[in-house]
A = this chain, B = another copy of it.
């Protein structure tokens, strides 16, 4: 009753479908997943809540659970191979769950990922050590909380499209991610655009779109 499935979209795009689990009642989630799996489509279920996980995996044992990314995938038919790879970079270890959501999303769409984690501006030598690797990639997803400076620094060093993902890591003046969001938007370095706070999925989707151009 409550859902109007958009059949045009997956057909037109040839991309797998995505379900956002977090705000849904478990029974509704199961119904929707049922529909997509029964149609033999590739499926990514993102932001799976802990209480949804058991019922989901029990009913659909085909689903693969990615714990850190908090998502499930089912690949019925692998997407065509992609010649290019994408980088996923984080400032700290607390940003890793969001980064993994981006990475799993890229991989779900058939794009390989290079992970460059915990190389934030507090010790910039860690970042400099991996520059060449980063310059060989097609696009970079850069995930950072607190002051959100890392995407600017990366965009200044690597001439590739950079997608900044602010995270809600931090407290007080970090304003639950609003501060790194605003900081990334006002970056003095061009070549950088930004997605919503903690939106690893959106960043991974866009990066894979660019990698497949």
Contact = CB atoms under 8 A, between A and B. Distances in A.
Interface of A: 1-4, 6, 8-9, 12-13, 15, 18, 23-24, 28, 91-94, 96, 117-126, 138, 146-149, 152-153, 156-157, 159-161, 163, 166, 168-199, 201-203, 205-206, 209-210, 213
Contacts of A199: 172
Identical copies in the complex? 8
Contacts of A196: 171-174, 185-186
A169 to B, nearest CB: 6
Contacts of A201: 190
B172 A4 contact: no
Given A181-B172, A182-B179, A91 B188 contact: yes
B126 A6 contact: yes
A195 B193 contact: yes
A157 B153 CA distance: 14
B198 A192 contact: no
A52 to B, nearest CB: 14
Contacts of A6: 122-123, 125-126
B156 A172 contact: no
29 contacts: A2-B96, A3-B118, A4-B119, A24-B94, A121-B152, A122-B156, A122-B189, A124-B157, A146-B186, A146-B187, A146-B188, A147-B184, A149-B183, A161-B206, A171-B197, A172-B177, A173-B182, A173-B185, A173-B186, A173-B196, A174-B196, A182-B183, A185-B194, A191-B205, A192-B202, A193-B194, A193-B202, A193-B206, A210-B210
